[in-house]
Structure 1
Amino acid sequence: MYTQLIQQFKDAQSAAASAYSVVIGAERAAFTGSLSEYSAMETRSEYKAERELTSFCQRLQSRLVMEASRKFAPAGGRIEIDSAREADRFGLDVADALRKGHLPDMDGFWQHLEQTFGGDAGERVAFEQAAKAIISGFWLKPDAEIKRTSSAVVLEKRVTSQSSFHSKGQREVYYSSQQSVATTFDGLATFSTKHQFGKLAWELRNFSVHRLTFSTREKLSFTGLDIVLFNDKWQFKFAHDVGDALSIFISEFGAEYLASHDRY
């Protein structure tokens, strides 16, 4: 099915080339009385057509990876798939296949993605990636003691901020920290969905750090989570049931990565 799309694209290229040739012939007939190297009709070189086909195949490969990321992710979660790595594991080399006159096997590549990420496998990959994002976001280590108060389980995340250019007296998250915050929130949202904290997951996914302005020690309140914002760190205060579930989630899906974090 997907490999056939490449053949259809090649057929379209051939049809276009034939149509261009007709126009070129008509132009030459219209100017029979004069000689000129100039032509109103531009034709695509063989090199340009090959490059166009290669580009189409590469975009189709990316589209399949995007579809797999969407289709095989657990509800409310996501999977990050390394397109180059999976293509290498399957043995898909678009440029090499075209150079040999073959159609890149996109149907086989899709089957590889299904086998690798379909069903329970995709869920586990998504949860492992979420656990990794959480561990990295809070820079957790195996021997680190997590603070527990009478009302919350507390974790701290380094988040650099600066004076806001748009709101006087306010601060905004420094550009270099914005992606880290977004990635941590995304990991926490996936965890929240897994452990049935649906409202918290929704709130985290719909939060935009890019538009945030705040005052020092201001608090963001979510369902089961308060975040106190300081100039160079954020203090996450999880309700006990959320914090305990988070600890279980990290132990189940992030143990191997957590152990490797102890080496850094």
Structure 2
Amino acid sequence: MTASARPAVDAGTLTGLLAAAAARLADRPAVRDDRRTLTYAELDRCSDVLAETLRGHGVGEGHRVGLHLEPSVDVFVAALGIAKAGADHVVVDIRLPDDRRAPLLADGGVKLVVARPEGRESLRALGLGVVPLPAGPAAVAAAAARPGSGPGAAPGIPATDHAERDLQRLLELLVQHRERQRNHLPPATGTERYLAGLWEALLGVEDVGGNDDFFRLGGHSLLAFRMQSRIKRELGVVLEYRTVLAHPVLSALAAEIDAAGDELDFL
């Protein structure tokens, strides 16, 4: 794959989820800070611009890119743009002095950093390449800060009492989605495939694997009860509710279903 080639979007990753949300909720507010708001479509387009810029600098799978920004909507654009380029990000605290920043970046294998234009000189002095956020994201963000845009929550990203995004939570979600993509284990049995389809329908996620955890994918007690009811109705297998709760990993729950089915066959 060349540096400028666009990686395929996996529906099970955060970037895939963003693309799906942008298609369904294009004009809905997605992220905001004290000054600016981005809709889902704008967030998707802004991060696309940055991803293309990064690919033009040779960034791709396996690379690590520094993220050197004040907490704002720019962090969302940068983190998603880096992910779309196929790379991992390393967060750099802008409050650190140069003598502490340099070893942090070196240890992280970072040679390129995304930063606002006003911060690039100090980073270049450390021997780093700097990719400033392009004018597109800032312009789009300014246009989005209009009456009626209001606060809105991206899926799984909580807002604080002041309606600011919990930026650390977004970064945690990015890591979780990347780990899930790397560790994906396809369903191995008919029961596992049935459960994967059921979870995808109940939870609104895609590409569920045998090692996925129902609650980590967004499940809760009410959805677990609905799952129990559908298993009974569709498979004729009665599981105790506590059994469902005690086996949140798909392959483990499938094994419980198979064992309960074997008992029915024996009877």
TM-score of the superposed pair, with normalisation by structure 2: 0.21
The structure in which a higher percent of residues are helix is: 1
TM-score of the superposed pair, with normalisation by structure 1: 0.21
